[in-house]
Amino acid sequence: MKRIRHLEIHLVHGCNLCCESCSHYSNQGHKGILSLAEAEFSMKLWNQRLNPHTFSLLGGEPSIHPDLPGFVALARRHWPTAHLRLVTNGFFLHRHPTLPTVLQRDPNACIYLSIHHDAPQYKEKLQPILALLRSWISDYGIRVETYLSFKNWTRGYQGSGSGMEPYNDGLPRQSWERCHAKYCPQLFEGKIWKCAPLAYLKLQDAKYRLSGSWKPYLQYQPLASDCSDEQLVDFFHREEELSCGMCPANPVKFKLPLPLNSLNPGIIKIS
């Protein structure tokens, strides 16, 4: 068993918010959800080889998924000692009334509320979510943490859609050192990917047919479950690699535009 600090899995690729330059490309109109069976298959491939300190359920927005409580139980079954985080913007937690019951039985699990703006309009939408979480804390004793994610927002790529381009600064070591997600490998399609921008880049290419600038990064090879022990250790000990060059060597914080302005229609209606 290889002890690692963190492992993440996408339950949903889409999101109700549209945060400019989202590192998971969840602002790019992607769809699709992970089934419990698919997640179980992927977790079984790795649960005897990896021992993450923290295992995160996220997206996209995971609370869009109708089987969200089932994923909490599934993750705990495969990694019984990991700190389990449900990373959510909270807007659809009310759709999962059984979720606090599942979390109540798990003292090492936590709802991690990611707050994406400080505008009055956003704060107004946030009030019912905070009230719901306060009631869950009071009635079920669950753990909730909040994170002001908009405070540290930077661009990981230039443009969007078919016009999206990598930075190609040519300083992969510096890009890695300044990366907010350097310790956030992704479990995706049964394989382990260094980070979200690499894991979900092929979804972006399939939807938008990205320019040739992305070719070196689309050729990235994730870690397969039939890897040797030596390959596994090397993967998690490796710091920068050439693929890190797609991200900026000098990321600059910027004021995130209000993400409520471009909501994904259909399944994404905030009330």
CATH code: domain of residue 15: 3.20.20
Instruction: Work out the end-to-end distance of the chain between its first and last CA atoms, rounded to an integer number of angstroms.
Output: 45
- Whether 18 is in a domain gets the answer yes
pLDDT on residue 270: 36
Instruction: Name the domain count of the chain.
Output: 1
**pTM, to two decimals:** 0.94
- Whether 57 is in a domain gets the answer yes
H/E segment holding residue 36: helix 36-46
- Whether 143 is in a domain gets the answer yes
- Whether 124 is in a domain gets the answer yes
- Whether 267 is in a domain gets the answer no
pLDDT, tens only, 110-123: 999 999 999 999 99
Task: For residues 132 and 138, give the distance between their C-alpha atoms in angstroms, rounded to a whole number.
Answer: 10
Task: For residues 46 and 35, give the distance between their C-alpha atoms in angstroms, rounded to a whole number.
Answer: 17
Banded pLDDT at 253 (limits 50, 70, 90): very high
Report whether 153 contacts 164 (CB < 8 A): no
Banded pLDDT at 261 (limits 50, 70, 90): low
- Whether 223 is in a domain gets the answer yes
- Whether 266 is in a domain gets the answer no
Q: Is the pLDDT of residue 264 over 80?
A: no
pLDDT on residue 96: 98
Task: For residues 125 and 78, give the distance between their C-alpha atoms in angstroms, rounded to a whole number.
Answer: 35
- Whether 271 is in a domain gets the answer no
Report whether 59 contacts 12 (CB < 8 A): yes
Enclosing domain of residue 186: 2-261
In which residue are the tokens 């972006």 written?
204
